[in-house]
Amino acid sequence: MTDMTLPAQADSRASAANKQSVLEGLRTRDRAFFWLTRLSALLVLAILGGIIVSLVIGAWPAIKAFGFNFLTVQRWAPNAQPEPILGGLGPIYGTLVSSLIAMAIAVPVGLGIAIFLTELCPQKLRQPIATAVELLAGIPSIIYGMWGFFVLGPFLAEHFQPFMIKTFENVPVLQDVFKGPASNLSLFNASLVLAIMVLPFITSVARDVFLTVPPVLKEAAYGVGCTTWEVMRNVVLPYTRVGVIGGVMLALGRALGETMAVTFVIGNSFKISPSIFAPSTTISAAIASEFAEASDVHQSALILLGLLLFVLTFFVLAIARLLLMRAERRSGA
Beta bridge pairs of residue 86: 76
What does the pLDDT read at residue 144?
Answer: 93
What does the pLDDT read at residue 309?
Answer: 92
Beta bridge pairs of residue 305: none
What does the pLDDT read at residue 11?
Answer: 60
What does the pLDDT read at residue 21?
Answer: 77
Q: What pTM was estimated for this model as a whole?
A: 0.85
Q: Which amino acid is at 329?
A: R
Nearest to 306 by CA among 320, 289, 286: 286
Q: Which amino acid is at 65?
A: A
What mean pLDDT comes out for the span 153-174?
A: 92
Find the length of the chain.
Answer: 333
Cα–Cα distances in angstroms (integers) from residue 82 to residues 27, 77, 79, 323, in the given order: 69, 11, 9, 48
84 contacts 297 by C-beta, under 8 angstroms: yes
Domain residue limits, the chain: 2-71, 88-332
pLDDT tens, position by position, 99-119: 999 999 999 999 999 999 988
Report how far residue 189's alpha carbon sits from residue 186's, in angstroms, rounded to the nearest whole number. 5
Report how far residue 257's alpha carbon sits from residue 254's, in angstroms, rounded to the nearest whole number. 6
Sign of CA dihedral 250, 256, 257, 258: positive
pLDDT tens, position by position, 226-266: 888 889 988 998 888 888 888 888 888 888 888 889 999 99
Mapping DSSP to helix (H, G, I), strand (E, B) and coil, where does residue 77 land? strand
Write down the CATH superfamily of domain 88-332: MetI-like (1.10.3720.10)
Report how far residue 145's alpha carbon sits from residue 149's, in angstroms, rounded to the nearest whole number. 6
Phi, then psi, of 106 in degrees rounded to 5 = -75, -35
pLDDT tens, position by position, 74-99: 888 888 788 888 889 999 999 999 99
